[in-house]
Copies of this chain bind each other. A is one copy, B any other.
Amino acid sequence: MGNPLSRDPIAEAQRNWEEHGWGDVAAPMAAITAIMRTQQILLARIESTLKPFGLTFARYELLALLNFARKGALPMNKASALLQVHPTSVTNSVDRLERAGLVARSPHPTDGRTTLIELTAKGRTAAKDATAALNTEVFSTPGFSPGDVKDLIRILGEFRRNAGDFED
């Protein structure tokens, strides 16, 4: 889909912003646009790594979350909150994961409204295998230096806290 460009299009945009008298917001614009593009690149890598497992990133995240939960089960609404996604998206993901035999729905023992999502044995295996693949194929060579990784975690952590993701 793309050969390398001769010039950085985001740096170009930043220059355009400055020339049009928006110099005060040119840098933040460039940073935000760069985050958008970086996410695109990373997502493509992750999805191509997960494809052999029949997983998308959204479904993998849910699987990984369940894998870390005690007893491998979580209520739907907890999963929605922890993954920061819309409840209907969780329903959608669970539908597909259930159809693939990786998770199962079960009624909550005391609260009749909530349904628990539970990892099946097959789902636990898939979670482990997919995680191993991501670790070796993506996370071990992230494209950031260790120092930059540290900076990113700090910068984006502060951003997310200020955005209301969590209080800590």
Contacts and interface: CB of A to CB of B under 8 A. Distances in A.
A11 interface: yes
B11 A140 contact: no
Interface in A1-19: 1-11, 13-14, 16
Interface of A: 1-11, 13-14, 16, 22, 24-25, 27-32, 34-43, 46, 57, 64, 68, 80-87, 131, 134-135, 138-140, 142-144, 146, 148-153, 155-168
A8 B149 contact: no
A30 B153 contact: yes
A154 B168 CA distance: 28
Contacts of A157: 8, 10-11, 34
